[in-house]
Structure 1
Amino acid sequence: MSVERLPDGPFDSVWASPGRVNLIGEHTDYNDGFVLPFALPHCTVVGGRRRDTPSWTVTSEGYEGAVTFGPDEKVEGWAAYVAGVVWALREAGHDIPGAELSIVSDVPTGAGLSSSAAIECAVMAVLLDLAGLDVPMAVRPRLAQRAENEYVGAPTGIMDQSASTLGRTGHALFLDCRSLATEQVPFDLAAQGLAILVVDSKAPHAHVTGEYAARRRSCEEAAKILDVAALRDVTDLDGALARLDDEVMRRRVRHVVTENQRVLDTVDALRAGDAREIGPLMTASHTSMRDDYEITVPQVDTVVDAALAAGAYGARMTGGGFGGCVLALVDADRCDAVEAAVREAFADAGFTPPDAFVVTPAEGTHKIR
């Protein structure tokens, strides 16, 4: 984040939180499973100053005007992510002072890169700082998740807020979504001559829409039928599938169970020091999201196919689905060639031209001043 991207004004506290991509483990987070995200260099920066009255005013570039709300007001729209954090902190018993907040961000919105979690985590850091409260970083993802689940109404898991808060430069975050245990897994691609190319398909998605919630409900219903706390607890996949009468539900369960195993296999490969080995796992993950979880769209499938044809070791969609971004693991000197191949495929298909950029694992929530 450059100096030019800092919010205007004299502030008592300025914090940044990044967006995230998920290397593997899509939609296993709300099944108490395993995920492997990493924080992006792209950040949301929030500046804040205290006010004496118990109210909060927030402005954000890209949105006209300021939004002001009190402690008992329900806020809709983009500012709900801010009001939700205030609500969650107060519900947890924290004495949060009134504040004026200003937000700037270079995390792409609507691309599956967790721009909402970046806002939540940066706002939380500023509010806690203004209050003089030392809430451990490991505790903050749950608070931010509650803001998004219960206040905003988006049924997300814990992954996004965890990656945004706890990410570390040069590492992927191996997260057990049940115990919340974490491991920082080294992910230094440059040392192996590799890179992650992110391609924004420009096919927008929205987590609050019915399709995302429907997938979650299907998984929860399957867990009840199988008499397990969550699909993470399924140990005999064939036996579990035989107990389910609904073919759609069987596909959903197969994705979650096999995706959990792919996370574990990916972590083992990274621990062994050969990132190229994770390429086939990434591609298998995408195939499972396409065929079993049914959350991809033609644009993201086109990115994956074109990247693989151009020499990527693996490629997969990241994010909630029905649009968003694709990650491609490529040789560092092949980024331009792979991007060109994707652009050509999009032009041939008549799709809106995509955006593409190279990312490296960056730092999670951090104080600027």
Structure 2
Amino acid sequence: MATYLLRPQLSTSSPRSQPNVRLKICDGECYDLVPLYDPTDDFQARKFAAIDTDSYPTRTLPASGYLSFIMAGVVPVAKSLKDIYTEDALAAQTKRWDNLLKQFKSNYGHDAQFVSRSPGRVNIIGEHIDYSLYSVLPMAITADALLAVSTKIDESASTSTTFKVRVSNVQGDKFPAHEFDIPFDAVEIDSKVHEWTNYLKSGLRGALEILRKKHGDGFRPKSMEVLMDGTVPAGGGLSSSAAFTTASALAVMFANGEQSVDKTQLTELAIVSERAVGVNSGGMDQSASVFSIRGSALYVSFNPTLTAKPVHFPKTNPELTFVIAQSFVAADKHVTGPVCYNLRVVECSLAAAYLHAAINKSKDPLPSDSGPLGVSLHGFHSKYLGDSTAPLEEQLSELIELTKKTFTKEEGYTREEIASVINMTVPELNERFTSTFPVRAEHFKLRQRTLHVFTEALRVLKFMKVLEHPESYLNADGGNSTETFNRKLGDLMNETQTSCREDFDCSCPELDELCEIAKKAGSYGSRLTGAGWGGCSVHLVPADKVDAVKEAWEKEYYSKKDLSKEQKEAAIVVSKPGSGSAVFVVEGGNVA
């Protein structure tokens, strides 16, 4: 197996030697696969890929295959900010990065060695179903977490039992600096204390576990100095915590000599790491942060293993845009977890165990899976319909009807009622499902939560079907109009919002208001995104209606709130799919 680097095909007049492997894309573009050790490369390192050259000396792929091909492999090491950001964002980002590096030198007295970067995400469809192991469709955004880093080797490292981490934030007045002396073999995190550095610690702890397994008991972590800058709004539903945790894990890996960090390993590491700060994270946020490529949404699946596939939106008339609007209702799932986010994870897990016990009439528990609490609704699905040859859409429809027949109590189920069905005592139930991430509830609304998960999983499949087979929708209106296609996608997003509001109970009046205002002003589809209970909303808006939607929000929503100038400027974002995690090696103390 030889490792090669993908880059645009060299011209025949190029003085550089031509590679002996070529990849031809079916859309007519040709690319050279350059040996990784070739000193002539002037590459965008995000396009690493592995190919068996003995079996495939020449390879032809459709565009979708090409995109999957370049997503495999390691986190890219960017040579330029152009490798990370779109052209329209470069000026602002260059200024921001320059300020970050200047402040790093001011704080620590020397230049940073590298910057670890991971973006936030907006979820297009597939809300609150990742931790039930159903597929989702997010995309990365420009807003991100940056960690400027330098390493210091303690002269007494061979005898010392600790290493040092100094961490500060560009918003030092809001997030005070800290210094930690951390034992080589343990990183302690108190998930009950909501401290901003917990996200750094969680990524640190997860990365060190991987490094110790690789290098053995003799591994000694390097001391680090870190300056953090984040533009993903906290509590905004755009995964600021996942961006910070992922960037932290990546920074620790790179600082300790891992120059080629595997994307899948980083994603799985970040998923587990964030749970250390008290959240039953599913995996969508971290997957979008790591795997995304510019210009594409991401179809993320969790069963049987974590996979990510880029998805393009076809050209439409009118052109479609995604607009993100903040409600300015803080939705910190780490603080409200016991009655909001973590409670929903528990309810979905209990529902899976209940359905299995009720349907099978067996004392055998539901087989464990990779869900946050060890069982999931997808796990029940696989057990109950594992031998079915029916299309997945039909299977989900069957599960929806089964849910309605099995869960008849709209008011919810008590611990005693659930325990009696799943063959546990109440103390056993509490220990199994509510001890790691405590929740507060007298009744668990298993019917409503399960209906949301199965119907949302079905909506994701329908959304993907429209994107992958758009012909019948794009041509339905005659001429150049794609109104039918646009409305089909929008209708599915609107259905998600209804389900989030009525069945999953994770919306709020402010989010509902933003969605209604947008639809009246021209949005095809409007829904909350992220955990909910506040935060952000996402809207599928025709390009020629974006200004009208923004004006309606300003008049009917934002003008009625006491917002700062900075908040008003950040309230609305017209988003394009962005790139995923990357490392930028600093040369000469700047980004030029």
State the TM-score, normalizing by the size of structure 2.
0.59
Secondary structure (helix, strand or coil) at the match of 1:135 reads: coil
Matching residue's letter, 1:270? L
Q: Which residue of 2 aligns with 1:218?
A: 347
Which of the pair has more CA radius of gyration? 2
Cα displacement (A) at 1:74: 2.9
Q: Does 1:244 align with 2:421?
A: no
- Using a 3 Å threshold, how does the CA distance of structure 1 residues 352 and 201 change in structure 2: closer, same or farther? farther
In the TM superposition, 1:32-47 aligns within 5 A as 32-47=133-148
- 2:203 corresponds to which of 45, 65, 85: 85
- Deviation, 1:352, is 5.2
Could you list the per-position Cα deviations for residues 157-183 of structure 1 after superposition, in whole angstroms to 9, with x for gaps in the alignment? 111111011111111110112321221
Percent of aligned positions that are identical: 30
**8 A contact 1:202–1:352 mirrored in 2:** no
Deviations 1:16-47 (A, max 9, x none): 21110000101101001111100001121111
In 2, are the aligned partners of 1:43 and 1:106 still within 8 Å (CA)? Answer: yes
Query: What SS does the corresponding residue of 1:110 show, helix, strand or coil?
Result: coil
Distance 1:351 1:223 in 2: 42
Matched, 1:102 2:227: yes
Q: 1:163 to 1:74 in 2, by over 3 A?
A: same
For residue 280 of structure 1, give the secondary structure of its aligned residue in structure 2.
helix
Other-structure match for 1:254: 451
Which residue of structure 1 aligns with residue 246 of structure 2? Answer: 121
CA gap of 1:189–1:319, structure 2 versus 1, over 3 A, is farther
**Map of 2:376 onto structure 1:** 230
- Give 1:74's aligned residue: 188
1:48 aligns to what SS in structure 2?
A: strand
Unaligned 5+ residue runs, structure 1? none
For the 8 Å contact 1:60–1:104, the answer to whether it is kept is yes
**So what's the TM-score if we normalise by structure 1?**
0.94
Higher relative contact order (CA 8 A, sep 6+): 1
C-alpha separation in 2, matches of 1:51 and 1:270: 49
Greater Cα offset, 58-67 or 189-198: 189-198
Q: 2:299 aligns with which of 154, 174, 186?
A: 174
Shift of 1:73: 5.0
Is 1:197–2:197 an aligned residue pair? no
**1:152 and 2:266 aligned:** no
* 1:329 matches 2:540: yes
**Structure 2 residues without counterparts, runs of 5 or longer:** 1-89, 106-110, 155-162, 213-218, 357-365, 367-374, 382-394, 411-444, 475-484, 586-592
Greater displacement, 201-210 / 284-293: 201-210
Deviations 1:60-117 (A, max 9, x none): 1224432122134535500000011111112234454221111112212210111111
Question: CA shift at 1:155, angstroms?
Answer: 1.3
CA distance in 1, matches of 2:503, 2:287: 26
AA of the residue aligned to 2:347: S
SS of the equivalent of 2:227 reads strand
Q: 1:290 aligns with which of 501, 518, 522?
A: 501
Secondary structure of 2:125's partner? coil
Q: Does 1:362 align with 2:578?
A: yes
2:557 aligns to what SS in structure 1?
A: helix
CA contact (8 A) 1:32 1:176 kept: yes
